[in-house]
Structure 1
């Protein structure tokens, strides 16, 4: 068992949604409750933050430049230079008590992002897919807290987490049509709450376990836990591979809702953490629209 080390002592209320931009050598991540989009440059150690006007729930690089965002009230484009954002679509205008949560792009460049009820209502959320032509598909409804997403590199399988189920579900995915079939349970957790995740080039899943201060590597075919990385912050939220060789695993954490006593024990909660891995990860896919 190894421990991740602190990279940025950000003290994010709800650090989440890391993505790696290989073109720029930059890690993006968000503070959902702090309304911030953040940018870390490992080559220089510089770290920047941009304050927005609402919850920033997920951020992914765009092939044309700039970013795609899932904000509290829907999908947006975002210009990193001007700071201007453009609203595209809000699929839950009729649900003001919901907000977006985790999201990322699949190997074909489509942006998947799901929602959650802020007051933690059960089954009130959904998972959506923004296609490259800016059309929107509803993938699942009856979701509670939409979270981790991962795909095999050939796009033939997808893994998905609705956190309160304590399960990672597996699906067969028709890469062309986007149709999902063959729903089955890949992993069931007895402890902790599975949150964000990513995949390595051996097809293994790295899963952040919220409230346990861990990221675990699992074989989704055999449901076997292979490795555990501890994090000195119990509210681990997500992870992503970065670096030139994709062996830098970056881990996001949160500090919101922690008591003063907890914060004394975990002074770096809400920070960005890092560990080197033996196996390279799959890349962050960019939005193709």
Structure 2
């Protein structure tokens, strides 16, 4: 069973997201979308660094050859932490100024799977994209208002894609050439139990789904059976990442967004970075080939 989550960094994020463990530096990266901030947290020293991105930033991932790649409202950017510079690379939706990029992951081939969403959280204008050696392309799934997840199974054959407002995590086959097969429902979150936010897979094929407004993270087995719910002292959990030297520490981002003054008073840790023992190991993050 997982241990109780505890705050390890008081980020106070409006919309914390995108936790990612960087094996090379043994540090945890994440973002605050609404404050345009990229964070790096060193668990060994408790040092916290931050950089201001050129817009609402949804995620940060390691890049082959060094540095990072981040997803900003206006597209993918190369990010050099040493110099603090952001360099535009690709804008997949120049015709959609009301959208922003929201969540992402990489696979063993170095492909980036990332989604967009309606920043107003209403129009079904969000799409899932794949970036690989052929460039950036729509992955072919039906558009939704808020894309989330995405997560890859340990064997690289399955993508988990979340329709947040539809309360559904979809299981999608990944073909050898990187194209996607037909999606089937993996899990559905009932009304009143929160909205499925970011998903993460562990080394045993389990899927961990963060619940925005649901006070926890759910751990499912590969068949979609609920194994455990990890309860938090805050309502809005956005995503977890596995880290630490043995990849057996779970780090979780949270959010203050949408909470009233009374709710914030009752949840003083809302928006912080949490950690807990998940009882299982995760997988190292693959570097993006871009």
TM-score by length of 1: 0.95
- Say yes or no: does 1:107 pair with 2:108: yes
User: 1 CA distance for matches of 2:3 and 2:106?
Assistant: 29
Q: Report the counterpart of residue 210 of structure 1 in structure 2.
A: 212
Q: Report the counterpart of residue 225 of structure 1 in structure 2.
A: 226
Structure 1 residues 132, 27: closer, same or farther in 2, change over 3 A? farther
Return the offset for 1:209: 0.6
Which stretch shifts more, 116-125 or 253-262?
116-125
User: 2 CA distance for matches of 1:186 and 1:19?
Assistant: 24
User: 1 CA distance for matches of 2:3 and 2:265?
Assistant: 23
Structure 2 gaps of 5+ residues are none
User: 2 CA distance for matches of 1:76 and 1:180?
Assistant: 25
Return the offset for 1:141: 4.5
- 3-state SS, counterpart of residue 165 of structure 1: coil
Return the offset for 1:285: 1.8
Q: Report the counterpart of residue 178 of structure 2 in structure 1.
A: 178
Contact 1:123 1:141 (C-alpha < 8 Å) held by counterparts: no
The count of aligned residue pairs is 286
- 3-state SS, counterpart of residue 165 of structure 2: helix
User: 2 CA distance for matches of 1:269 and 1:73?
Assistant: 28
Q: Report the counterpart of residue 27 of structure 1 in structure 2.
A: 28
1:87-106 matches, within 5 Å, as 87-106=88-107
TM-score by length of 2: 0.95
Which stretch shifts more, 266-275 or 79-88?
79-88
Contact 1:109 1:132 (C-alpha < 8 Å) held by counterparts: no
Contact 2:154 2:201 (C-alpha < 8 Å) held by counterparts: no
- Say yes or no: does 1:201 pair with 2:203: yes
- 3-state SS, counterpart of residue 262 of structure 1: helix
User: 2 CA distance for matches of 1:54 and 1:114?
Assistant: 16
- 3-state SS, counterpart of residue 263 of structure 1: helix
Contact 2:69 2:77 (C-alpha < 8 Å) held by counterparts: yes
Q: Report the counterpart of residue 154 of structure 1 in structure 2.
A: 155
Contact 1:125 1:146 (C-alpha < 8 Å) held by counterparts: yes
Return the offset for 1:3: 2.3
Q: CA RMSD in A?
A: 1.3
Contact 2:54 2:72 (C-alpha < 8 Å) held by counterparts: no
Q: Report the counterpart of residue 259 of structure 1 in structure 2.
A: 260
User: 1:123-161: CA deviations, max 9, x gaps?
Assistant: 21211112146x111113522101011112221111110
User: 1 CA distance for matches of 2:70 and 2:53?
Assistant: 11
> Post-superposition, which runs of at least 4 consecutive aligned residues in structure 1 deviate over 3 A?
none
- Say yes or no: does 1:136 pair with 2:136: yes
